[in-house]
Structure 1
Amino acid sequence: MEQAIATIRTFNRFFTRHVGAIDARFLDSDANLPEARLLFEIARLEPVLASTLQAELDLDRGYLSRMIARFEKKEWIVRDQEAADARARPIRLTAAGRAAFDQLDSRQRAVVAQDLDRLDNVEQQDLLQALTRARLLLDPASGGPFIIRPFRTGEVSQVVTRQSILYAASHGWGRPLETLEAETVAAFLRDFKPDREQCWIAEIDGVMAGAIFLTDEGDGLARLRLLHVEPFARRRGIGDALVATCLQFARDKHYRAVTLWTHKILEPARRIYARHGFVCVSSDVHTVFGDPIEGETWRIALHP
């Protein structure tokens, strides 16, 4: 924990310096960073009540009132005059306020573009995904709606990495599980049948949030494999959506049935499978991952 705290504080010190967060004149403007953020929110939401700005920025009401008063003194904003209570008067930018915002916005876009220009395309995507993932980890509710799409180059291996890490942390399944999953996806990539098989990725704001595979087992039988949902993305219905996508593909390809292998202790996954019509047809205790554990075979019939 101490090392984790130190790592985050080190990054915070770097980033506040990098973006000029403690400069009295943010980006050489007539505003500091809190004022620049307030100006941005007014421009984005106008006409907007002070109470809305307070909730949006989670600011102390007195501090917000002082900033609004400074904006009025600079003639950057005006309040509508219908209500007697100033707090109930929507705030708008004046022409001077709009010019100040446009200048700040232009400068900020330029410095961000300068940062990105130093990176190649792969590095840019690494940065964007790292920043978005950090936001989703710290505030899962900040994520937008999820999408489900076919896999892209490199993502199949990422699925193995994430599942191996997650199951090692939650159940202690280490190298044996990783070996099994690596062999599974290697065969999937090597023998991939685009018209009969697929891997789907669930994505939130450009970040992988989960995945599922369907493979052809022959004789009209398909296998659902490697379902997982990232912890920050759970309780959104992603697991159900991935399974539904998998089953719809199997029906469209006229598979007669879909099977899967899971474990009795994986209750959330078992509930998803049951909701979609899978039933447990057999179970056995194995030691593939080390300690004895009860594995289960589930199945759903799709076509006669």
Structure 2
Amino acid sequence: MNQAIDAIRTFNRFFTRHVGAIDARFLDTDANLPEARLLFEIARLGPVLANVLQAELGLDRGYLSRMIARFEERGWVARDRLDSDARARPIRLTQAGQAAFEEIDGRQRDAVAHDLESLSATERDDLVQALTRARLLLDRQAPDAFTIRDARVGEVSQVAARQSVLYAESHSWGHGLEVVEAETTAAFLRNSDAERERCWVADLGGVMAGAVFLTDEGEGTARLRLLHVEPFARRRGIGDALVAGCLDFAREKGYRQVVLWTHTVLEAARRIYARNGFECIDTQVHHTFGEPVQGETWRVLL
């Protein structure tokens, strides 16, 4: 915990200095960073009431009022009156305020572009994914919508790595599981038939939020494999969407049934399977992961 705290504080100190967050003149403009952020929200939402800005920014009411007053003195904003409510005074940018916003916004974009220009395409993608993952980890209520897409180069192997890490933490399943995961994904990469087998990834803001495989077992049977959803992405319906996508694909390709192997202790996954029509048809204790654990075979007829 102390190491994690120190790492976050170190990054915060670096980033506030890097973006000029404590400069009196943000990007050498007539605004500091809080004022630039407020100007951005007025441009995005305006005309907008002060209480909406307060909720959006999480600012103290008095502090917000003083900033708006400074904007009025500079001629950046004006307050209108609503015929329906004389007490409501929506805030909007004036022509001067719009010009100030465009100057600050342009300088911010240029500053970010300057940072990105020094990076390769892979490094830029790594940075965007890292920042998005950090935001989603710290804001579990972020409203980002997910999409389901085919796995890209490198992601099949990532699934094995992520599942191994997650199950090691949650159930202390170590290298035994990792071997199964690695062998499964390697066999898929080596032998998969793109017409009848797939790996799908749940994409949340450009970040892998989960994945699932469907493989051909022969004689009209498909196998659903390696379903997982990242902890930061749960309670969004991703698991159900991945399983439902597998079943739709299996029906389209003419499979008669889909089977899977799971474990009695994986209650959340079992609920997803049950909601999508699977039934447990067999149980058997094994020692593949070290300690004895009860495996289950589930099936759905299509």
Q: TM exceeds 0.5?
A: yes
Instruction: List alignment gaps of at least 5 residues for structure 2.
Output: none
Letter of the 1:29 counterpart: T
2:192 equivalent in structure 1: 192
1:245 equivalent in structure 2: 245
| CA distance in structure 2 between the aligned counterparts of 1:237 and 1:191, rounded to whole angstroms | 30
Listed as ranges, the matches of 1:15-54 within 5 Å are: 15-54=15-54
1:128 equivalent in structure 2: 128
Letter of the 2:201 counterpart: I
Query: Is the Cα–Cα contact under 8 Å of residues 143 and 204 in structure 1 kept in the other structure?
Result: no
Q: 1:12-35 deviations in whole A, cap 9, x for unaligned?
A: 000000000000000000000000
**How many angstroms does 1:220 deviate by?**
1.0
Asked if 1:281 is matched to 2:281, the reply is yes
Letter of the 1:245 counterpart: G
Q: 1:158-181 deviations in whole A, cap 9, x for unaligned?
A: 111111110000000011101100
**How many angstroms does 1:81 deviate by?**
3.2
| CA distance in structure 2 between the aligned counterparts of 1:80 and 1:275, rounded to whole angstroms | 52
| CA distance in structure 2 between the aligned counterparts of 1:301 and 1:81, rounded to whole angstroms | 63
* Structure 1 runs of 4+ with >2 Å offset: 81-85
| CA distance in structure 1 between the aligned counterparts of 2:94 and 2:136, rounded to whole angstroms | 35
Instruction: List alignment gaps of at least 5 residues for structure 1.
Output: none
RMSD, matched Cα? 0.8
2:72 equivalent in structure 1: 72
**How many angstroms does 1:192 deviate by?**
1.4
Identity of matched residues, %: 70
**How many angstroms does 1:76 deviate by?**
0.4
Letter of the 1:156 counterpart: V
| Equivalent residue pairs, number | 300
Letter of the 1:165 counterpart: V
| CA distance in structure 1 between the aligned counterparts of 2:142 and 2:298, rounded to whole angstroms | 35
1:209 equivalent in structure 2: 209
| CA distance in structure 1 between the aligned counterparts of 2:215 and 2:99, rounded to whole angstroms | 58
Listed as ranges, the matches of 1:42-191 within 5 Å are: 42-82=42-82, 84-85=86-87, 88-191=88-191
Q: 1:132-186 deviations in whole A, cap 9, x for unaligned?
A: 0000000021141111011110000111111111000000001110110000000
Letter of the 1:217 counterpart: E
| CA distance in structure 2 between the aligned counterparts of 1:32 and 1:76, rounded to whole angstroms | 14
Query: Is the Cα–Cα contact under 8 Å of residues 143 and 205 in structure 1 kept in the other structure?
Result: no
| CA distance in structure 2 between the aligned counterparts of 1:81 and 1:288, rounded to whole angstroms | 71
| CA distance in structure 1 between the aligned counterparts of 2:107 and 2:283, rounded to whole angstroms | 63
